[in-house]
Structure 1
Amino acid sequence: MSQMKSVQTAGTNQVDVVDVDRPVPGPKDALVRIRACGVCGTDVAFLHMGGMPARAHLGGDLVPIPLGHEPAGEVVEVGADVTGLKAGDRVVVNPQAAPTGIIGCGGRYGGMSEYLLIENAEVGTSVAVFPDTVPFDVASLNEPMAVARHAVNRSQAKPTDKVVVLGAGPIGLGAAIWLKLRGVEHVVVVDIIPSRLEKALAVGADAVLDSAEEDVTARLTELHGEAANALGQPRPGTDIYIDAAGAAAVFNTVVDNAKWHAKLVMVAVHKKGSDIDLGGMLRSELTLVPSQGYPTEIFEVTPDLVEHQSRFAQLISHRVPFTEVERAYALALTPGAAEKVVVTFDDVAE
């Protein structure tokens, strides 16, 4: 049986590039040669843990897991029962559709591999085809941009709403793009890293705010006007906040600034519990809207990603060849070292 290289966890903050058997597609499956795969914050979380607890192991032993849930590639083989797909099609993948577990998140297969088996391959469910006018690295943004799109969909933002995105990582910047494409007239992006704020303006944000250097309340009041909470206390006129940062200080900044009937969409994963000012939420009747994954958005975003690819391409800060994949994860593990890292497979032999 032919072999291929695949990346998996190898203890705390370490990866291994291992040789594994190349999957063989069954009648309902497709085999995809990976051409690009993004590195996600979820990958970093798995690396911090050193793997994933094995349910079958007493004592919570950790087992290595294949990494990579943001792949894009080219179909090289399809099973006899597969329809709508053929060799040569360029595809993005729904990691959550795999029956043997989420691709790159504890399932049998990971997208940071030379080849990926698409089980029960079905266009519109497990894969979507994209044209050859879109580079594979940009196509690999499909999955994280679906996460960002779901947050914006959950916000139900209207064109007249004043929106603040907190956190200018890939999800926050993606949310800013989707908000502008949705027709929202004024979008502010907040972060503490100047280069990320510059990127926010480049992808279409109307204003940015450096919360390490500026008074958040004063700046938002300047941008969005003055309103009040339920007790009549002055607050910025921001209608919707999207938390793409995942820090307790960010969450509480929203509570401190929320006007009456403001909305907070939480898409970031908060790694630690935090003390929340419930009284502050009460005083503004702040609506908290959690946003998890992409129930319907995974391929809803694909046509727009194709149409606006030049804007989304700006989110990629580092393109690292697969032969240097350890460096890609090292960048992702270093706070502030990279915005979006995409591993490319152009250097891998056929």
Structure 2
Amino acid sequence: MKSVLVTGPGRVDVVEVPKPSPGPRDVLVRMRACGICGSDAYYVTIGGIPPRQGATPLGHEGAGEVVEVGAEVTGFAPGDHVVMNPLAPGSQLLGSGGPMGALSEYLVFRDAEPGRELRIIPRNLPFDLAAINEPMAVARHAVNRTAPQPGDTVAVFGAGPIGLGAVLGYRISGAKHVVVIDVQPARLEKALAIGADAVINSAEEDVAARLTELHGPGATVMGAPRAGTDIYLDAAGAPAVIDTALAAAKANATLGIVAVHKKPVPVDFGALLGVEPTIVTAMGYPQEIFQVTDDIVANQDRFGRIISHRFPFTDVLTALETAATPGAADKVVVTFD
């Protein structure tokens, strides 16, 4: 079968590898779609994932079809459509330094159990949409970490896939009003299309002033004026986001950080004493990987808008290049015939 491997720094190839064989407790899945993550481009840049020796298989945002089950397997049958948990034990760190990557024609899941490595999905859920289950779980975990309450007002910085997924997560969680902040007009338009109540172009508008207009006035513990926003989420990863959010935050506001900051970000904690904010970070999806599946099934049209580009597996190298080019795409999904 064909599999996409990182074969050296800056080099990725489609190579022929042995097709995996399932044992009595294993499930063999034919891949039908795989999303491309920003981490995939990073793995290509650094030449794989140390301490793994040799080529590194790519891809961890997968959806597929069960084609063979071991004699001792229960809960799965050939023909089942499934999404996968790339961090579950039987997935062996799928596409993140383990022996398999979802940009392959087949995957085998060892000692597979329903709801652990794989979850069966309805047949009316398109495979390309199912493939964004993993990044949407990242977004949903970020939402859950900020503990939204019905009626909360929210500001999401960054209208990429994670930020847009968070918008939908806040909507589903009962947020009263969700604002998205970005500098790209096309991304802001997409945010409105999937359900944001308002958008702010931070390159052209005063974010704190605009949030005060949208969410009403708030104040610090000592009464200094601030925006009335309850929750801020950083899904952009720019240092200016932290500065802007904390400068606008009212007393007891929450700041969640799901974006990856590649350099340290200084924070003046002395200035925050009178705000008493809650600052939380979010990584992965301890419980959300299959929780979000139900959200996607129930809101297919809105989640589907997050996908910007689809490429067949025959053009997977072009798909990887497109996804890695700043501004060229938002969410890229590779489909298999």
TM-score w.r.t. the length of structure 2 is 0.97
Aligned residue for 1:71?
62
Aligned residue for 1:275?
266
State the alpha-carbon separation in 2 of the partners of residues 128 and 51 from structure 1.
28
Of residues 13, 21, 41, the one that matches 1:24 is: 21
Of residues 43, 46, 58, the one that matches 1:46 is: 43
Shift of 1:99: 4.3
State the alpha-carbon separation in 2 of the partners of residues 340 and 280 from structure 1.
38
State the alpha-carbon separation in 1 of the partners of residues 321 and 205 from structure 2.
31
Q: Is the 8 A contact 1:13 1:333 kept in 2?
A: no
Aligned residue for 1:90?
81
Residues 20-64 of structure 1 show CA distances to partners (whole Å, capped at 9, x for unaligned) of 111101111111000000001121221232212226xxxxxx743
Aligned residue for 1:120?
111
Aligned residue for 2:209?
218
Judged with a 3 Å threshold, the aligned counterparts in structure 2 of structure 1 residues 191 and 13 are, in CA distance, closer, same or farther, namely: farther
Q: What is the aligned residue count?
A: 337
Q: Is the 8 A contact 1:52 1:63 kept in 2?
A: no
State the alpha-carbon separation in 2 of the partners of residues 177 and 183 from structure 1.
10
Aligned residue for 2:6?
9
Judged with a 3 Å threshold, the aligned counterparts in structure 2 of structure 1 residues 63 and 280 are, in CA distance, closer, same or farther, namely: farther
Shift of 1:100: 6.6
Q: Please list, as runs of the form range in 1=range in 2, the aligned pairs for 1:255-274 lying within 5 A after superposition.
A: 255-274=246-265
Aligned Cα root-mean-square deviation (Å): 1.3
Shift of 1:292: 1.3
Of residues 209, 214, 239, the one that matches 2:230 is: 239
Which amino acid letter does the alignment assign opposite residue 82 of structure 1?
V
Q: Could you say what secondary structure the match of 1:303 adopts? A: helix
Structure 1: 5+ residue stretches without partners: 56-61
Judged with a 3 Å threshold, the aligned counterparts in structure 2 of structure 1 residues 211 and 73 are, in CA distance, closer, same or farther, namely: same
Of residues 301, 311, 323, the one that matches 1:310 is: 301
Matched, 1:185 2:176: yes
Shift of 1:123: 0.8
Which amino acid letter does the alignment assign opposite residue 31 of structure 1?
L
Shift of 1:241: 0.5
Residues 165-191 of structure 1 show CA distances to partners (whole Å, capped at 9, x for unaligned) of 111111110010111122211000111
Judged with a 3 Å threshold, the aligned counterparts in structure 2 of structure 1 residues 235 and 303 are, in CA distance, closer, same or farther, namely: same
Q: Which moved more, 1:67-76 or 1:45-54?
A: 45-54
Identity, in percent, stands at 58
Q: Could you say what secondary structure the match of 1:310 adopts? A: helix
Which amino acid letter does the alignment assign opposite residue 167 of structure 1?
G
Structure 2: 5+ residue stretches without partners: none
Shift of 1:283: 3.1
Segments of 4+ in structure 1 off by > 6 A?
none
Q: Could you say what secondary structure the match of 1:75 adopts? A: strand
Q: Is the 8 A contact 2:91 2:117 kept in 1?
A: no
TM-score w.r.t. the length of structure 1 is 0.93
